[in-house]
């Protein structure tokens, strides 16, 4: 959501606490978080990794989760209301005259997931610097075991794809 008085983006996530979670309800709750810019990637990737774990265990869609999986899912759900506290300035650069605008991209991988993000750094004429997260993307590591250098390469490729992702978003918003 956008708070027009503060000019900030606000995330409102309300997850129904299932007493008997199933793979279907976990997928529904995970898909409920709408984040086209990837600003909540650290939260969403945990849900994706949990879903991948359920797929690996070949759990049917309407089967109840085991006690261990249920506790893991509850811990993930417990952390999700924290997302409602996140407010992000819609204005990415300073309102004052700028000397320079820079884009800084980062990528990283682990054995479980990999991701990439782009920061926008603006430098005012007076020398004040503002840095904001512009967008990010994350992926769960493939089920087929890959070496870490290969996963780092996947993360780098994801970073190379992020500018085209932001360009497609820009085009979409200009059409609306």
User: Quick one: pLDDT at residue 14?
Assistant: 66
User: Quick one: pLDDT at residue 168?
Assistant: 59
User: Quick one: pLDDT at residue 16?
Assistant: 63
- Average pLDDT of adjacent 10-residue blocks, the chain of 176 residues: 79 69 85 80 88 90 89 82 73 79 91 92 89 90 91 93 63 53
What's the pTM?
0.77
**How open is the CA angle 8-104-146, to the nearest 5 degrees?**
105
Rounded to whole angstroms, how far apart are CA atoms 87 and 121? 19
User: Quick one: pLDDT at residue 102?
Assistant: 86
Q: Which of 35, 107, 28 is nearest to 62 (CA)?
A: 28
């Amino acid at each position: 959501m956008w708070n027009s008085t503060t000019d900030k983006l606000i995330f409102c996530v309300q997850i129904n606490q299932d007493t008997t979670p199933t793979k279907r309800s976990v997928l529904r709750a995970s898909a409920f978080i709408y984040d086209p810019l990837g600003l909540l990637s650290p939260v969403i990737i945990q849900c994706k990794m949990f879903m991948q774990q359920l797929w690996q265990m070949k759990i049917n869609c309407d089967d109840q989760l085991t006690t261990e999986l249920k506790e893991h899912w509850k811990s993930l759900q417990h952390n999700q209301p924290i997302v409602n506290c996140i407010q992000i300035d819609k204005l990415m650069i300073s309102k004052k005259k700028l000397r320079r605008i820079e884009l800084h991209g980062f990528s990283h991988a682990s054995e479980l997931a990999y991701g990439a993000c782009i920061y926008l750094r603006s430098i005012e004429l007076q020398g004040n610097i503002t840095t904001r997260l512009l967008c990010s993307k994350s992926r769960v590591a493939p089920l087929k075991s890959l070496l870490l250098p290969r996963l780092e390469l996947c993360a780098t490729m994801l970073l190379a794809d992020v500018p085209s992702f932001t360009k497609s978003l820009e085009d979409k918003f200009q059409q609306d």
